Structures are given as structure tokens and as C-alpha cells.
Amino acid sequence: MSRLTLRIVIILAALSIAGITATQIYWVRKAFDLKENQFNRDVTTALTNVATKILEITKTPAAANNPVTIFVYTLFVILKQRRLSEIQKTSSTT
């Protein structure tokens, strides 16, 4: 093989490896984003169910909007502080 042919083969191989690596990075990031969205959806559903059960137990009227708020990726809040204090007062008096 001549030097020119060898260089062309090496360059094409390097470009192929770079392309495969870039594709893998893209798909791994995409999969991570999908799992993160699925996790957020599952946690929101579970916390909404918990909030609904709490409201049923304390016989408190349900809010018109979703009781679960996502502030940050790892911080979910059920209801507002005012509502929680009302629930605590109701449950302590019964």
C-alpha cells in the first residue's frame, strides 16, 4: 500500500470512530432525558395520589389545580404551606 492510501484509510477510520462516538453520545443523552421525564411523570402521579388520599382522609375540598409542584428536578412539593397548616389543624382537632 502506498503512503497516500494508508493515510486516507486512517483518516476515514478516525472519522468513522468519531461519528459512531457522537451518535452514541446523542442516543445516551436522549435516553437519559426520556428516563428523567418518565421519572418526573411517575413521581408527580404518585404525589398527586397521596395528596388526594390526604384530602379524602381529612375531608378537605380538593384544589382546582394540580396539588404537586416541581420546583427543581429533585424537589417536589405537595400543596401549599397554608393548605398543609389547615390540614394539620383539621387532623389535630378530629
Domain ranges in the chain are 3-93
**Whole-number Cα distances in Å, 53 to 24, 27, 50, 59, 65:** 43, 39, 5, 10, 16
pLDDT of 2-18, one tens digit each? 999 999 999 999 999 99
User: What is the reported pLDDT for 78?
Assistant: 65
pLDDT of 21-74, one tens digit each? 999 999 999 999 999 899 888 988 888 888 888 878 887 776 666 777 777 666
The residue with greater pLDDT, 53 or 83, is 53
Query: pTM for this one?
Result: 0.59
58: CB partners within 8 A, 6+ apart: 87, 90, 91, 94
User: What is the reported pLDDT for 28?
Assistant: 97
